[in-house]
Amino acid sequence: MSLSLIAKSIGESATLKLNEVAAILRAKGDPVIHLGGGEPKGKAPLDAILAATSLVNSGEVRYTPPDGIPALKQAIIRYTEDFYGWRPAPENVMASGGAKQAIMSALHTILDPQEEVIFPAPYWVSYPEMVKLVGAVPVPVEPEDGSFIPRIQDIEQVVGSYTKAVILNSPNNPSGAVYPAEFIKDVVELCEKRGLYLIMDDIYHRLIYDGRKPINPYDFAKDRTDNSKLIIINGVSKQYAMTGFRIGWAVANTRLIEVMTNIQGHETSGPSAVLQHAAAAAINGVQSSVDSLCTTLENNRNVLIEQLRSFDGVRLEEPGGTFYSFPDFSHYDKNSVRLSEFLLEKVQVVTVPGIEFGKEGHLRLSFCGSIKDITDGIERIKWTLDPNAPNELYIGERKLVRDWS
């Protein structure tokens, strides 16, 4: 079949694929534990549900302005004022079908073919594919010291004449690392100096622990005019446990938002009216669900860390945010795909291979599930990999006997 070169270069989303695998195994009755997930398990806020059902019940569900309904844009404006200390105009805001679509529209708007986009590794699985989708070139940079915290020198080294943008995602998927304010400051300054766009993917910025506060890139920006090349991406998926609602947004300069809106207008006409109402209600509503989500996730993280610390051979950098950890399992197998498949086959634990995030030898383990999933999941992994573990493991009634070394 004849397909475009770009289309042929795009891989499947490993994380979405694994959700499917987990669902199929569960439907078959397998006692699968999904440590590969990317969404909080709680319910969407009641305010959001009531707003969505009320619009559906009215029966009048119409097209909306392509950049979003005024109520949602106002909610995003207030959110930006609260978390970023400046009040954008409505012309600086575009609502979209998830943060994913906001990033895609931004890339479509700023990139010409062959231009380069730099982002630190490990990185979110979609960045390379999104950049390739617009015909541009992804440039992942791995911190030289092998840690999850990039240094400004790592970025500077790869900036060249084709560089058009940098993407930062902190707290980071998959490592959970929270980049230091100093590093973000340096990148903001570098981008301003070199005339580069800086896309801040802040989708996890409120999911941070140990008393940290979200870092605001505008604090370091000298250019506070409407020519700023800073693009803020966020959404309701993670912080409000509303992944299926598919609402995200971008805040950027007027001209960018205008062009992004033109693109979105032709591609989708904008996100669903029902879901926009729900998102506005979540942002404007009682925020206690975000606080309790953070408390739950911090506790889950602590349990996961404790479990992993008792695991000889696994090295872990403590996640400071998100609901992901990214331990190094290379002592057991340097090939993360093979290791992930082995764990799924032997003990039905779903993990995401590190190579999908640009770092081999690691597995991404999520802590957004239940404490029981975390403890049982790690226990199963440990049993599978630790040669000193007892020979048998019970999963419910099922007895597993280790026949590998």
Among 124, 197, 323, 342, binds ligand PLP (CB under 6 A): 124
Which is closer to ligand PLP, CB of 364 or CB of 382? Answer: 364
213: exposed, middle or buried (Cβ count in 10 Å: 0-12, 13-18, 19+): exposed
392-395/349-350 β-pairing: unpaired
Tokens of 81: 């004022």
The gap from C-alpha 244 to its chain's centroid, in whole angstroms, comes to: 14
Place of tokens 């895609």: 104
Packing angle, helices 273-284 and 70-84, rounded to 10: 40
Write the interaction track for ligand PLP spanning residues 23-42; mark x where CB under 6 A is met and - where it is not: ---------------x----
Q: How far apart are the first and last CA of the chain?
A: 44
Residue 268 beta carbon to ligand PLP: minimum distance, rounded to whole angstroms: 13
The number of C-alpha atoms within 13 Å of 139 and in the hemisphere containing its C-beta is 19
Residue 245 beta carbon to ligand PLP: minimum distance, rounded to whole angstroms: 9
Residue 71 beta carbon to ligand PLP: minimum distance, rounded to whole angstroms: 19
How many angstroms separate the CA atoms of 66 and 342, rounded? 46
Phi and psi at 72, nearest 5°, equal -70, -40
**Residues 145 to 184 in contact with ligand PLP, rule: CB under 6 A:** 169, 173
Under the binding rule (CB under 6 A), the answer on residue 98 touching ligand PLP is yes
Q: b/e map of 232-251 (b: 16 or more CB within 10 Å)?
A: bbbbbbbbbbbbebbbbbbb
Stretch that binds ligand PLP, among 96-104, 139-147, 273-281, 371-379 (CB under 6 A): 96-104
Write the interaction track for ligand PLP spanning residues 248-267; mark x where CB under 6 A is met and - where it is not: x-------------------
Residue nearest to ligand PLP (CB): 98
Which is closer to ligand PLP, CB of 174 or CB of 361? Answer: 174
Residue 331 beta carbon to ligand PLP: minimum distance, rounded to whole angstroms: 27
Are 292 and 355 a contacting pair, CB within 8 Å?
Answer: no
Among 92, 170, 228, 237, binds ligand PLP (CB under 6 A): 237
Among 75, 92, 93, 100, binds ligand PLP (CB under 6 A): 100
Residue 170 beta carbon to ligand PLP: minimum distance, rounded to whole angstroms: 10
Q: b/e map of 38-52 (b: 16 or more CB within 10 Å)?
A: bbbeeebbebbbebb
Stretch that binds ligand PLP, among 63-71, 95-103, 272-280, 379-387 (CB under 6 A): 95-103
Under the binding rule (CB under 6 A), the answer on residue 109 touching ligand PLP is no
Which is closer to ligand PLP, CB of 96 or CB of 300? Answer: 96
Residues 6+ apart with CB under 8 A from 189: 220, 222
Residues 6+ apart with CB under 8 A from 263: 105, 108, 109
Total residues at interface with ligand PLP (CB under 6 A): 13
How many angstroms separate the CA atoms of 163 and 115, rounded? 6
Residue 171 beta carbon to ligand PLP: minimum distance, rounded to whole angstroms: 9
Residue 293 beta carbon to ligand PLP: minimum distance, rounded to whole angstroms: 15
Which is closer to ligand PLP, CB of 139 or CB of 275? Answer: 275
Residue 107 beta carbon to ligand PLP: minimum distance, rounded to whole angstroms: 13
Residues 6+ apart with CB under 8 A from 326: 122, 148, 174, 175, 176, 317, 319, 354, 357, 359, 362, 363, 364, 365
How many angstroms separate the CA atoms of 64 and 73, rounded? 12
Which is closer to ligand PLP, CB of 246 or CB of 346? Answer: 246
Place of tokens 């408390």: 295
Under the binding rule (CB under 6 A), the answer on residue 206 touching ligand PLP is no
How many angstroms separate the CA atoms of 308 and 373, rounded? 14
Among 235, 319, 320, 377, binds ligand PLP (CB under 6 A): 235
**Residues 182 to 201 in contact with ligand PLP, rule: CB under 6 A:** 201
Among 13, 19, 74, 243, binds ligand PLP (CB under 6 A): 243
Which is closer to ligand PLP, CB of 124 or CB of 218? Answer: 124
Stretch that binds ligand PLP, among 97-105, 213-221, 337-345, 370-378 (CB under 6 A): 97-105
Distances (CA, A) of 356 to 37, 129, 203, 360, 362: 14, 11, 19, 8, 10
Residues that bind ligand PLP (CB under 6 A): 38, 98-100, 124, 169, 173, 201, 203, 235, 237, 243, 248
